[in-house]
Structure 1
Amino acid sequence: MKISKISIYQVDLPLKEGSYSWSTQTFSAFDSTVIIVECDSGLIGVGETCPLGPSYLPAYAEGARVGLAKIAQGLIGEDPIQIGKINERMDELLKGHPYVKSAFDMACWDILGKATGQPVYNLLGGLLQDKVTLFKVVSRQAPDAMAAKLSAYQDQGFKQFQMKVGAGANSDIDRIFAVSEVLRSGNILAADANTGWRQHEAIRVVKAVRDVDIYIEQPCLSYEECLAVRKHSDHPMILDECMDDLRTLIRGYNDSAMDVINLKINRVGGLTKARQFRDLCVSMGITMTIEDTWGGEIATSAIAHLAHSTPKGYHFQSSAFHEYHSLEIASGGPKIEDGYMIASDRPGLGVTPNMDVLGTPVSVIK
């Protein structure tokens, strides 16, 4: 089986609630890139990469499409189910830029699943969880508005939450107190600064909310700053943006820098490398949030398959990004019910792209 055609699509994902705010950034829609890989056997695979704006990580939507077009010509004629070789070839064609390669790697796993008649979770380790625990994001707003949203989400059956902070220590302390007051017994809340605090601000916050039952997520930009905050706090710590390679993961383990890590598929380069990351975490006893930066039904399906194949004791929570959008880019996305999601058991990722929504490709490589 050989790759015969690669099509690249751009689609904007508008948000149901109108906007999404975290740290100091606000968006009303996210620019996503979808790739469709066609084979001479007739099989097709789909992948998606959706950076969270251009200044969140070293990744941006236009760069994803340019990068994919750059490597696509060198992948025509390759066997997509030889996924290790595909990843080696992508690294030969383009140094770095893991968020670019993630979409193509995802599409190859989709093809492998279809070629073998297996859902991707079977290929990633088997169905170790029947359903995937979700967390709901509480976008950054005024404290009372955030508290009201969390109450509404609890009524919908969600039990784990990530509130967005990082816009200033004083206002964030107020936000944490307001939201935590309406958190129901047994539910879980994290305050995610998305690198938005300076070290001195983060230390002020964790001291001010010392008695609040809350996780603190990625308070500062650098690993070193987060480690310093960790030493001033009794709160469980989640590290996210700085966990970008296996070396940092091992360093964090040796430094006892975190209690949970956030594993984002496109930040590490796709499902292949995310599985490596996941398996090392399990070997070292590290619990994970498994998600991606953003995306629609395709990216969310990849999240669900990786989470389904992760031992329950090491899986903290995941995101279902497609539930935040008013546009369906593919059918067959994970089903959501009572704070959980379940991936399709169809071969591959189980999704079918909605071509009427994707429209005309921005690039076609044959």
Structure 2
Amino acid sequence: METFIVSIPYSHTEKSSRVNRLGVTDVIVKLTADNGLVGWGESCSGADVKSVEQAVLSAKPYVIGKDPWQLDAIYNDYMKKGLWDFRPMTAQFAFVGIDQALWDLCGKEAGQPVYKFFGGAMRVSVNYFYYLSHSSVEEMERQCRDGLDKGYSVFYLKTGIDRKTEDELLSVILGRDYAEISYVM
């Protein structure tokens, strides 16, 4: 098991009711099996990337030498024997990368893409989203035009900062009254 802390800058500030940042820093997890296959995963950083990296590394006794197909047993051992059930948020941030890497190993061993283990593909392609940074209505309209110019058809905005401005923005962009618009905060 190896970990790598990676920082990726954004093209513009991510601003929402929860964050205000210029990029993301996460932990990349690399698991190398005894048969030479390599599985990769990404653990989100939470409040402190170093603590998440240490939580990943603390999983070594529950992962190394174990059958990657026994994902639930590995997870349960990590949570209970590793006492992470007392710190579930950090544990979840850390284990998600381990889980992804284990699934990646299983897929490679089976010679199948992992999505087949979860019921198969639901679509041929997926539109990626253009992330809107919360700001004035005029600035968010500019961001939408930029996204459209770049070929995006899906836009993502984390709400919860200023409901009045968010309602106005949605009304302007969608060209209808807010009563017809629903979104989750």
TM norm structure 2: 0.84
Counterpart residue number, 2:168: 177
2:133 aligns with 139
C-alpha displacement at 1:107, in angstroms?
Answer: 0.2
* Secondary structure of the structure 1 residue equivalent to 2:65: coil
Distance 1:141 1:73, change over 3 A: same
| Residues 92-111 of structure 1 mapped to structure 2, 5 A cutoff | 92=80, 93=82, 94-95=84-85, 96=88, 97-111=91-105
CA spacing shift, 1:155–1:85, aligned 2, 3 Å: same
Distance (Å, rounded) in 2 between the aligned partners of 1:163 and 1:21: 9
Q: Could you say which residue in structure 1 is the equivalent of 2:109?
A: 115
1:8 Cα deviation after fit: 1.1
**How far 1:69 moved relative to its partner?**
1.5
Report the counterpart of residue 50 of structure 1 in structure 2: 44
Task: Tell me if the contact between 2:43 and 2:98 (Cα under 8 Å) persists in the aligned partners.
Answer: no
Q: Which of 123, 126, 143 is the aligned partner of 2:120?
A: 126
The 1:210/1:182 distance shift into structure 2, 3 A limit, reads closer
Residues 292-343 of structure 1: CA deviation (Å, up to 9, x unaligned): xxxxxxxxxxxxxxxxxxxxxxxxxxxxxxxxxxxxxxxxxxxxxxxxxxxx
For 1:91, the equivalent position in structure 2 comes to 79
**Distance change (3 Å), C-alpha of 1:127 and 1:164:** closer
Task: Give the counterpart of 1:23 among 10, 17, 27.
Answer: 17
Q: Distance in 1 between matches of 2:169 and 2:121?
A: 39
Distance 2:154 2:8 in 1: 24
Task: Provide the rounded CA distance (Å) in 2 between the counterparts of 1:108 and 1:127.
Answer: 20
Q: CA deviation at 1:105?
A: 0.7
Please give the alpha-carbon distance, in whole angstroms, between the structure 1 residues aligned to 2:101 and 2:148. Answer: 35
- Partners of 2:165 and 2:77 lie apart in 1 by 50
| Structure 2: distance between partners of 1:114 and 1:130 | 21
Cα deviation digits, residues 222-246 of structure 1 (max 9, x gap):
xxxxxxxxxxxxxxxxxxxxxxxxx
Distance in 2 between residues matched to 1:47 and 1:164, nearest whole Å: 25
Give the TM-score taking structure 1 as reference length: 0.45
Q: Greater share of helix residues, 1 or 2?
A: 2
Q: How far is the alpha carbon of 1:80 from its aligned partner? A: 1.4
How far apart are 1:25 and its partner, in Å? 3.1
Aligned ranges for residues 237-252 of structure 1 at < 5 Å? Answer: none
Aligned to 2:181: 214
- Cα distance in 1 for partners of 2:135, 2:104 equals 38
Alignment: residue pair count: 179
- Give the match for residue 53 of structure 2: 65
Alpha-carbon separation, structure 1, partners of 2:110 and 2:59: 26
Identity %: 23
Offset at 1:148?
A: 1.2
Q: Which moved further from structure 2: 77-86 or 30-39?
A: 77-86
Q: What one-letter code is carried by the residue in structure 2 that aligns with 1:173?
A: K
